[in-house]
């Protein structure tokens, strides 16, 4: 499995969106760099940064209250009502 695929899977589990979270997008970009790195030094540098970013994202995810499908639907309905 590629590093990028593993990172994307972890981000899904954490509930992080690559499209709306810059740190998640950066994590995927770093993972892609690791997968295509031609040297160990470049891969190691990217891996260190990736490890730190994923640690931050995990910590943020632990602070968020868990939501289920019903909570998500209610939030979407509230946003639609507020938008008009």
Q: What is the mean pLDDT of each run of 10 residues along the chain (84 residues)?
A: 95 92 96 95 95 96 78 84 84
pLDDT value at residue 52: 97
The domain spans of the chain are 3-83
CA distances, 39 to each of 12, 13, 25, 42, 82 (Å): 29, 30, 23, 6, 51
pLDDT digits (tens, 9 = 90+) for 16-29: 999 989 999 999 99
Longest dimension (CA), the chain: 54
């Amino acid at each position: 499995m590629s590093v990028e695929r593993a990172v994307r899977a972890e981000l899904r589990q954490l509930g992080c969106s690559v499209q709306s979270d810059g740190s998640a997008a950066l994590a995927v970009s770093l993972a892609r760099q690791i997968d295509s790195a031609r040297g160990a030094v470049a891969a190691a540098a990217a891996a260190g940064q990736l490890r730190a970013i994923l640690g931050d994202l995990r910590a943020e995810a632990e602070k968020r209250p868990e939501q289920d499908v019903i909570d998500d639907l209610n939030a979407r309905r509230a946003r639609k009502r507020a938008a008009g």
